[in-house]
A and B are shown apart, each in its own frame.
Chain A
Amino acid sequence: MTETLDFVRGPLFLMTFGFLVLGLARHVFLRTFAVVRALRRTPCRDVPWGRVARKTAGWFLPVRHVLRGAPLMSMASIVFHVTILVVPVFLAQHVFLWHRGLGLSWPALAAGAADFLTLTALGTGVFLFLFRMVDRTARHMSRFSDYFLLAAVILPFASGYFALHPEGSPLPYETMLLIHVLSGELTFLLLPTTKLAHVVLFLFDRASTDIFWRFVPGAGDRVAEALRGSPKGAEAS
């Protein structure tokens, strides 16, 4: 068990974390490249970057939007997002690991606060899961991956909580720790490869409407050429 735990905490962690960092960096690089290339194909490049940046910043913590649609779900979603970002980064045990491994250090959450935030993350995460199952529209829209990804994100928090509180844990400490580390590493793999990539793609979301309505001159003719061998429109065929 100890050997397994050492492996998942050591080399496997490095590999998956490396995959996460490189995978997300790849997204940022590809998206930036795609935007630059898209704008090079159109003569109209006056994207209102200031407005786009303001909108993106506004959606970073979209409290203004809570009451405008599905308020309970929206509130839960905001709290969920904040807590799942804050807890892993500022948990004292994690800060300690960073310090031991790389000599980096930053302020950590007090134990009580960490517990509270973890339980909040779990509560809101479970609420969002149930909301998908129960709400008529959300249920209709949701697919397996929507449930799976949410569950995959919740699991490290549940196992982490029990690893820190072995007294209430249904499994032995080491088993729980193993589940915690493995499930965390699973999210590292899922983040760049699934819709969870919105953790960085989010930066590009708001710009899409301002960039991609700028069409490519001559594209319609070329499409017609490819389909009908002449630039004549479909309506003339």
Chain B
Amino acid sequence: MSQTATEPAVARTGRKTTARKYPWYVIQPVERDRVRRFLEAFAAILRYTNYKPLLDQYVRSSAKCSRCTATCPVYEATGDPRDIPCNRSALLLDVYRRHFTISGWMKAKLTGDPGLTEATIDEMARSFYRCTACKRCLLECPMGIDHGLLTHLGRWILGELRIVPKGLEIATIEQLHGESGNTSAILPHALVDTLEFLEEEIEEMFGIPIKYPVDRMDREYAFFPAVSDFLMEPETLMGNLVTIYAAGDNDRWTIGTGYYDGINYGLFYSDHVLERVVKKVVAEAARLRAKKILIGECGHASRSAKEFVPVFGGEQARPVVNIMEYTWEKLEEGKLDLDPDIVTEPVTYHDPCNIARSGWILEKPREILKSFCRNFVEMIPNRTENYCCGGGGGTVSVDEIHDFRMSVAGRKKAEQMRATGAKYVVAPCANCKKQLRELIEYHELDMQCVGLHDLILKAIRIPGAKPPEARAEG
């Protein structure tokens, strides 16, 4: 990573440069008294959350056995000891031990250890955003240390000092305080325009009108895709609609104009942001009186809803379903007719860490793909042991570390994709899609990254509509 924030930040903002350098742009970080304020933030977080017992456990468990080195794609690419997951976590565990335990305090008295320094804070800022929070290291840690959770906590403490990549924070500010209320700043009328445009496209493709249900009350599902899909992934969204339509469920779901963003960067850097965004999703589903929350093709959006709607949703919490689970169910029920002669090229599937590592969604997308893609090939390793796309943990939204994502964090994934010889890599995640497309370009791979429903859009047969082969010709 050769880029630092200082020079470009000055050029962009015209503000006076600061001596401190982060590997990414920051909006307005705390500059003075960082050590004291870091410790205050850490203390407050320990007081009101469950992290203290976790850290009590981990300071005694961390065996420094080096086994995580074999699982971390970042360390595999750099060989830099600072990139070893256990070493990264030690940055935080050492501060906890030194400043928040009696034995650490006594040891410091004996050895004269000054404790947390400015340099350690800089190193944390660097290091915690070189972790993609993919949790692959957890697979092989004999002590079960969840370095992804420690990365999350470290980023939250830094976040309270506003040491957060601008790419993440600016989207969060718009989502929580902006007029649009979502990360892509799409206003409701622009959303409706986009949906109308997509409907026109679908009518042109299929020869029949199919409409997105907007602001319909009392439906089974309220739909929240990654809001960036409305700008970047029209085929995924069209695929979602025609799938639901073909299954006969178009009167059982809705998109609400009150809130329509599944993205939750809080999962990456702040419990506080996470909770407030989850509450927006839950409130909109409640406003629409929808029975379930349906999340589009997005790994972190799905996980942040699945795991945290029950935690933060209170009495308004609802069951969370990922769109691939829905589609699989309809395929099983025989409600979807997918033409096996349309996608004949080799297809591979990328497991987004946020839905695969825990074992949540593994076989369903594969079964959907295998039902109509004749030539399905697996990446090795896959499923719970998959490699991160290299843009996980929000790093994909940090353009300043593009080189890092391409040549370090995503190197393994690029090698995996090349080895499959596939023409399509299916990535049911907005983050992964962006990263994989950049990887494909950077590593000059002869393939295309698509969503699962993009391929369904190509192959689906709807009675009374133009058949797939006619659409392909058109």
Task: Report A's interface with B, CB cutoff 8 A.
Answer: 31, 34-35, 37-38, 41-44, 46, 55, 59, 62, 65, 68-70, 73-74, 77, 135-138, 140-143, 146, 194-195, 197-198, 201-202, 204-209, 211-224, 226-227, 233-237
- Chain A residue numbers with a CB within 8 Å of B161 are 234
The interface stretch among B60-68, B334-342, B392-400, B454-462 is B60-68
From residue 269 to 301 of chain B, which have CB atoms closer than 8 A to chain A?
270-276
* Contact among A35, A141, A211, A226 for B48, CB-based, below 8 A: A226
Would you call B69 and A220 a contact (CB within 8 A)? no
Would you call A215 and B71 a contact (CB within 8 A)? no
From residue 168 to 223 of chain B, which have CB atoms closer than 8 A to chain A?
169, 172-173, 176-177
Asked, given contacts A34-B53, A34-B56, A208-B57, whether A138 binds B142 with beta carbons under 8 Å apart, the answer is no
- Chain A residue numbers with a CB within 8 Å of B270 are 220, 233-234
- In the assembled complex, the Cα of A198 lies from the Cα of B270 at a distance in Å of 30
Cβ of B45 under 8 Å from chain A: yes
Would you call A233 and B50 a contact (CB within 8 A)? no
- A contact face: mostly helix, strand, loop, or mixed: helix
Least CB distance, A232 to chain B, in whole angstroms: 9
- Chain B residue numbers with a CB within 8 Å of A195 are 60-63
- In the assembled complex, the Cα of A62 lies from the Cα of B63 at a distance in Å of 16
- In the assembled complex, the Cα of A216 lies from the Cα of B66 at a distance in Å of 32
- In the assembled complex, the Cα of A59 lies from the Cα of B61 at a distance in Å of 14
- Chain A residue numbers with a CB within 8 Å of B81 are 136-137, 140-141
Least CB distance, B381 to chain A, in whole angstroms: 10
B side interface size, CB within 8 A: 64
Q: Can you list 18 A-B pairs with a CB-CB distance of less than 8 A?
A: A34-B57, A38-B53, A43-B314, A44-B307, A44-B311, A46-B310, A59-B144, A68-B71, A197-B60, A209-B144, A212-B51, A214-B50, A215-B271, A216-B49, A220-B276, A233-B176, A234-B159, A236-B173
Asked, given contacts A208-B146, A216-B49, whether A201 binds B61 with beta carbons under 8 Å apart, the answer is yes
Would you call A41 and B50 a contact (CB within 8 A)? yes
Would you call A68 and B140 a contact (CB within 8 A)? yes
Asked, given contacts A69-B70, A198-B63, whether A217 binds B142 with beta carbons under 8 Å apart, the answer is no
Would you call B56 and A198 a contact (CB within 8 A)? no
- Chain B residue numbers with a CB within 8 Å of A213 are 146, 149, 307
Would you call B50 and A215 a contact (CB within 8 A)? yes
Cβ of B388 under 8 Å from chain A: no
- In the assembled complex, the Cα of A237 lies from the Cα of B273 at a distance in Å of 14
- Chain B residue numbers with a CB within 8 Å of A68 are 70-71, 139-140
Would you call B48 and A219 a contact (CB within 8 A)? yes
- Chain B residue numbers with a CB within 8 Å of A202 are 143
- In the assembled complex, the Cα of A68 lies from the Cα of B141 at a distance in Å of 11
Least CB distance, A144 to chain B, in whole angstroms: 11
From residue 101 to 160 of chain B, which have CB atoms closer than 8 A to chain A?
135, 138-140, 142-146, 149, 159-160
